[in-house]
Structure 1
Amino acid sequence: MEDITAVPTSWSVQFVAALVFLYVLLKVFKRVRYTGGKRPPGPPSLPLIGHFHHLLFGLPHHSLAKIAEKYGPIVWLELGALNVVVVTSSDVAREVLKTQDHIFASRPPGIMVDMVFKKAQDLIWSPFNDHYRLARKMFTTELLSQKRMDSFQDLRRQMTFRTLRTAFEEGHTNRYINFPDLVENQFLSLTTQMLFRMDGHAQNNVLLEIIHDLVSTGWFVIEEFFPLLKPLDLSGQGRRLKNIGERYFELMDSIIDNRLKENSNSKSNTEEDLLDVLLATSTFSRVQVKLLLLDIILAGAETSSDTIVWGISQLLRHPNILERLQSELDDVIGTERLVEEADLNNLEYLQAVVKETLRLHPVVALGVPHYSTEATKVAGYDIPANTRVMLNLYAIGRDPKVWENPLKFDPSRFLNSPVDVRGHHYEILPFGAGRRKCPGMNLGLVSVAYNLAQLVHASAHRRRRTHGRKPSEVRALLLTSLAKPPPEVSAPEA
């Protein structure tokens, strides 16, 4: 009985303490809350919590899109102690990411940034400073250069075939596959081999678990919005983030120690990877090396795999689009060989499918937040310094003022259209734009297009049987095709 009553008693003490802190916080807010100038419009707020109640239900990017429908393309929100501006139009996005990019190119501080990324010693969360410039240069010249990308082409091919082979083997035994997990594991293995030649199943599983824990825990920490509650850690997220950071650092320390031992024992290793490059330079500390690798792992394991899953899902829902893509593959590639990366530029409709998938389903729907380093005006409104600016990429890609039938999956809208996804057209921004544009954009686009082409091409021999069938029959035929590969795919090179 004592154990049963101990829990409510503990929570009661924490609740009373929280109320005391919140009361003090309210008094502080009345003094420091921004009131000057002409701030952007926004919905009614409540004392203390501000606009938090508008985000309690549903997905945040959905809720923010609905708010924008009523209050306009730039909205002011007070989320606890934080001032946040949300942008939902391409015109305002252009002003933030291009016209005033020098003001909004930094990232905000936060509890997750402090605990896991050691006060932003990585690339993604770094302020716009010399460390950021140096780290980005290292990424673009050593990992993501065209020469480096070409050197990993065979590895990407092998990893894609491994996924196909697994799907085929499971299909032959009439077992269901978890396609998202299968593709995510493919890209984690690809990323870790590119970074530090690690393809150990057990280590990858640990790393994948760490990534999942970080994504599910770190992006929304309640104490970040109510900083006076941070010592209590009522949500427990502080403890979880600390544990995630410790687990990741322990794993990476073992990998780095083994690499240093290998390098000291052998001077003939010519397979230099990014870990070797980072360890060879005196520019970055050991902590920074581990965090720069974490950035790439997070981006490499999640973004491309999620886009591929969305792309396949939309193709299964739209058999006519699937049939058109299969026809293009038949015409350009034929049935006697497999798709190669060199073919991608000749597959116009495939590229349109990728763009349309990214328009409707940007992987990071609200982007990575920007941070104003000085007071300025945007769209005629006053934006104070130290304000978070979030771009609702989900809403921008579905803006009915820009896109005809915005909710319809229609790749043909990108045929004979100059609009691209590379950050030059602000109607669609899956990789961001300006100084903080994703440095892995080119690799991501190649990976998504190549995998979609291989998956669809594997079922091309069934294409003619889909004509005139119901959508459910078409989906069944595609799954059957994946379960029965043509001879060229059944035994790919190891």
Structure 2
Amino acid sequence: MEFVILLVALVLSLSIIFNKRILKRPKQPLPPGPSGYPIIGCLPEMLRNKPTFRWMLDYMQAFSTEIACFRLGSVHVITISSPELAREFFNVQDSVFAARPGNMTGRLTSDGYLSAVLAPGGNQWKKMRRVIVSEVLTPSVHEFLHGKRCEEADHLVRYVYNQSKTGVAINVREAARLYCGGVIRKLVFGKRFFGAGTEAGGPGFEEKEHMDAVWIILSYTYGFAIADYVPLLEVFDFDGHKKTLTNAIKNLRKYQDPEIDNRIEMWQNGIRKTNDDILDILINLKDSNNNPLLSAEEIKAQVIEMSIAVIDNPSNVAEWSMSEMIRDSRILERAIKEVNEIVGKKRVVQESDLPKLNYIQACIKEAIRLHPVAPFNLPHVSTEDTIVSGYFIPKGSHILLSHLGLGRNPRVWDEPLKFNPDRHITNGSSQVVLTDSQLKMWTFGVGRRGCPAILLGSTIMTLLLARLIHSFSWTSLSTSPLIQDSNLFPFMAEPLMAYATPRLEPQVYQYLI
């Protein structure tokens, strides 16, 4: 199979040897990297070494470099694990590297680049980003949707409480994803479940299928598909990425698109008259001629993007934070002491409490640093030839910032593999913020492609972890839990299973039931 792939790639890609970028001989060198083969570059190594991100990071570690170049087909993929280099790419030369590459997986996920984050650039990207920043993720809309977020936080506590009464261990990963999935569905569609859910309040078949589709899309979009680097091979789908991603998108849209079509029809027929959620807001945006600003296709593509953007990081952060806290009881006790002093035991944590929960936010930031949900940021692409730190970066290069490489860089962090929230508290009174403008770790990004959902993301992450820690005492199934990264992804190899015991006054839970 590998021989067939290489042979087809050779035949279909011969023309690139005449590409002026390859013929050009810049004075500055490319970043260090494996030499690769003529025309196809390192595609054979990419296929042999799965997951690709670990192969790339292992190469950088073996050769003690914080920047590397892997040529995949005709594309130079530049990986970075240095905050200084990251600032050069994404701050100093942001105008050169603000675009996204156009490729198969990004195109499929965004339905032809109709959404804000995955669009390469140009007028469509500007339009959709303006919609998200100016109409959806504003402070006023955040406040408007406050009640829906609280409903899902209450449902989380109610679900864990009901499970705890049965004496079974709680699947913390499932509980965290239940909350995150419920939040985004409630914010966008105004409903927690697409189906009936379970009697205990957990996800039903529909929500599980929807959530499975979300994680597949997250894993396969810009997931080193062959066709992302040799577009002519897309029709063959040698690695199966296109089929897998297409099926996942189909499963996601099976639940989301009918909701959107029905809502549009309700507005057109005058059945619905007031905005209640994000979907209403998107449908009712108008252009200068008072016509709908967004087509149904644009709304559906943007909803897909929002669905996959909200779930991954908060649920991963909560699970890793809980795992590290349970393993080190001193950290957990300090976090509990903080919520006890701020909130007490006669009510649950509310969003208004979050700015005061400094240590819990430090734990969240440490989990993001040490245990990022994705190995790299979404790729940026250079729109022109340029020089960065003495290296030649050709036009069309894909720029990948290593979350693991930054957060675990021993030159930047003392004891980088140790979970130590105190490293983010510079003095006793300083307020922890989850962003990092110096790019010593990757949180919400910077520049034109920085994440616009900082307020929403921070709120969801902090409230999720705070509710779990404050509302229950946690005991691991093992007296000395061993936690480790998955071989395929940076999240935990196995879901965290722990016993939960209610720790608030009984009437608090009765109020939530």
Normalising by the smaller structure, the TM-score range is 0.7 to 0.9
- Residue of structure 2 aligned with 1:262, choices 266, 279, 299: 266
- Residue of structure 2 aligned with 1:235, choices 234, 239, 245: 239
Q: Deviations over 1:126-152 (max 9, x none)?
A: 123232222222212332222222222
Q: What code does the residue aligned with 1:491 have?
A: Q
Structure 1-normalised TM-score? 0.86
The answer to whether residue 208 in structure 2 is matched with residue 208 in structure 1 is no
Question: What's 2:425 paired with?
Answer: 415
Please state whether the residue corresponding to 1:124 is helix, strand or coil.
Answer: coil
- Structure 2 CA distance, aligned partners of 1:334 and 1:123? 41
Pick closer, same or farther for the CA change 1:169–1:421 going to 2, 3 Å: closer
Question: What's 1:84 paired with?
Answer: 77
- Structure 2 CA distance, aligned partners of 1:216 and 1:355? 23
Of 76-85 and 203-212, the range deviating more from structure 2? 203-212
Alpha-carbon offset, residue 265 of structure 1: 4.5
Matches within 5 A, 1:62-73: 62-69=54-61, 70-73=63-66
- Structure 2 CA distance, aligned partners of 1:481 and 1:200? 24
- Structure 1 CA distance, aligned partners of 2:294 and 2:338? 47
CA contact (8 A) 1:51 1:77 kept: yes
Unaligned runs of 5+ in 2: 196-205, 286-291, 484-496
Of 284-293 and 481-490, the range deviating more from structure 2? 481-490
Please state whether the residue corresponding to 1:491 is helix, strand or coil.
Answer: helix
Alpha-carbon offset, residue 107 of structure 1: 0.3
Question: What's 1:487 paired with?
Answer: 506
Of 161-170 and 419-428, the range deviating more from structure 2? 419-428
CA contact (8 A) 1:458 1:481 kept: no
- Residue of structure 2 aligned with 1:322, choices 324, 327, 332: 332
Alpha-carbon offset, residue 289 of structure 1: 1.1
Pick closer, same or farther for the CA change 1:353–1:19 going to 2, 3 Å: closer
- Structure 2 CA distance, aligned partners of 1:372 and 1:359? 26
Please state whether the residue corresponding to 2:170 is helix, strand or coil.
Answer: coil
CA contact (8 A) 1:352 1:411 kept: yes
The answer to whether residue 304 in structure 2 is matched with residue 298 in structure 1 is no
Please state whether the residue corresponding to 2:76 is helix, strand or coil.
Answer: strand
CA contact (8 A) 1:364 1:430 kept: no
CA contact (8 A) 1:339 1:453 kept: yes
- Residue of structure 1 aligned with 2:167, choices 155, 174, 199: 174
Question: What's 1:5 paired with?
Answer: none
- Residue of structure 1 aligned with 2:463, choices 447, 450, 465: 450
- Structure 2 CA distance, aligned partners of 1:17 and 1:90? 40
Alpha-carbon offset, residue 448 of structure 1: 1.1
- Residue of structure 2 aligned with 1:143, choices 136, 140, 143: 136
CA contact (8 A) 1:191 1:300 kept: yes
- Structure 2 CA distance, aligned partners of 1:472 and 1:272? 47
- Structure 2 CA distance, aligned partners of 1:110 and 1:67? 25
- Structure 1 CA distance, aligned partners of 2:249 and 2:499? 43
Q: What code does the residue aligned with 1:429 have?
A: W
CA contact (8 A) 1:41 1:72 kept: no
CA contact (8 A) 2:345 2:505 kept: no
Matches within 5 A, 1:64-463: 64-69=56-61, 70-202=63-195, 203-218=206-221, 219-266=223-270, 269-281=273-285, 282-416=292-426, 420-459=433-472
Q: Deviations over 1:383-441 (max 9, x none)?
A: 11111111112111111111111111000111126884424221122211111111112
Unaligned runs of 5+ in 1: 1-13
Pick closer, same or farther for the CA change 1:492–1:65 going to 2, 3 Å: farther
Pick closer, same or farther for the CA change 1:189–1:333 going to 2, 3 Å: closer
Q: Deviations over 1:422-466 (max 9, x none)?
A: 242211222111111111122111111112111111236x99xx9
Pick closer, same or farther for the CA change 1:117–1:492 going to 2, 3 Å: same
Pick closer, same or farther for the CA change 1:415–1:424 going to 2, 3 Å: same
Q: Deviations over 1:302-343 (max 9, x none)?
A: 221111111111111211111111122222222233222111
CA contact (8 A) 2:76 2:394 kept: no
Identity between Structure 1 and Structure 2 (%): 26
Alpha-carbon offset, residue 197 of structure 1: 1.3
Question: What's 1:22 paired with?
Answer: 9
CA contact (8 A) 2:169 2:498 kept: no
- Structure 2 CA distance, aligned partners of 1:234 and 1:268? 47
Matches within 5 A, 1:22-61: 22-25=9-12, 27-28=14-15, 30-32=17-19, 34=22, 36-37=25-26, 38-48=28-38, 49-52=40-43, 55=46, 56-57=48-49, 59-61=51-53
CA contact (8 A) 2:169 2:500 kept: no
Of 113-122 and 247-256, the range deviating more from structure 2? 247-256
Please state whether the residue corresponding to 2:30 is helix, strand or coil.
Answer: coil
CA contact (8 A) 1:420 1:428 kept: no
Of 446-455 and 32-41, the range deviating more from structure 2? 32-41
Question: What's 1:4 paired with?
Answer: none
Q: What code does the residue aligned with 2:191 have?
A: M
Q: Please give the root-mean-square deviation of Cα atoms over the aligned residues, in Å.
A: 2.9
- Structure 2 CA distance, aligned partners of 1:480 and 1:486? 18
